[in-house]
Chain A
Amino acid sequence: MLLIYCPYCEIERAETEFHCGGEAHIARPSDPEKATDDDWVEFLYMRSNTKGIAAERWRHIHGCGRFFNAVRDTVSDKFLTFYKAGDPRPDLEALAREAGK
C-alpha cells in the first residue's frame, strides 16, 4: 500500500485515504467554443499513459478533500514529489535524474 503526502495537510498517510484522479496538467480549454474538435478529443480522451516518471492528480478524499498533484514512477510505484494544485509541473527529467533513473 502506497504512502502519500498531502501537501495541504502536510502529512503522510496511507493510500486508502486518497483517490487517484489520472494524469495531471490536462487543462480544460478556457474558451471551449474556440477549441477545435481535435483539441476537445485531446482534452477528453488522450492520455500519455507513461511507463516511468509521470505527474498525476490525487485527492485526499478521506482527509481534507483537496486535489493535489504527485510525480510517481509508474514502474517502481515510488513517488518523487508532491505539490499543490495550480503549482507548475516540476521538471520531470530532473526528478528522474535525481532518482537515478
Chain B
Amino acid sequence: MTTDNAHQAARDVVLARLRGALGDDPTVPTVPRTYRREGAYAAGSPELVDLLVDRLEDYRATVARTGADDREIGVAVAEALAAQGVRDAIAAPGVPADWLHGIPEHRLDDGSATPRQLDRTGAVVTGSAVAVAETGTIVLDGGPLCGRRAITLVPDTHVVVVRVADVVQTVPEALGRLDPTRPLTFVSGPSATSDIELSRVEGVHGPRTLVVVLAG
C-alpha cells in the first residue's frame, strides 16, 4: 500500500508541477454559450414524442404507446413481455403494482438479488427520470422508480416506462433536470457495438432488448 507520505508527496508534486506549468497569470477565457440550451418545443409536446419514437426505433428499441393510467401501463408492459416470451421480471422498488399485474412472476427489488440471480431473471421493469427526444436517450437516476443500477443491467430485457411529460427536446434540458450526485445511466437503445468494421450491431453485454412504454 502506498504510504500516506508517498501519497502526499505525489499530490504536492503534481499540483506544484501544474502550477509551475501555468506560470503566474494564466488567462481564463470566457465560455460562449450560444448553443441551444432549450429546444423549440415544451416538454411533453407531441412533436417531441414523435421525435423520440423515431430515434428509439432507429436504435432498434421497441416502442409501445399507452395512456397515462397505471393500469393501462400495466397492460402495455405485460404485452411487451409476452411478445418477448418472458414470464418473470424484477422491478424497481418504487414501481406501482399496477404496472406489474399482468406479468406471471414478478417481484420488487429489495436489494438482495445478487448479480447471478439477476442473470437468471428474464426482465426488469422500471420507470425513468427524463428522456431526450433529439438523441433518443432515456435517463435512469437510481431513484425508487429506476432502481439500483444492477437490476437494469443484468437481465436481458429492460422494459422502461417513460412519462410523456418527462420528454424534453435537448441534452441541456435533460441535464438540468438531473441530480448529478445520484448514479445516473443514460440509455440510448439496447446495448450495441461498432467495434467490428465500425458497423453498429445491437446486443452485447447490456440488455439486448429494450422496450420503451411511452405513457401519457
- Are these two chains actual partners, yes or no? no
Interface residues of A (CB under 8 A from B): none
Interface residues of B (CB under 8 A from A): none
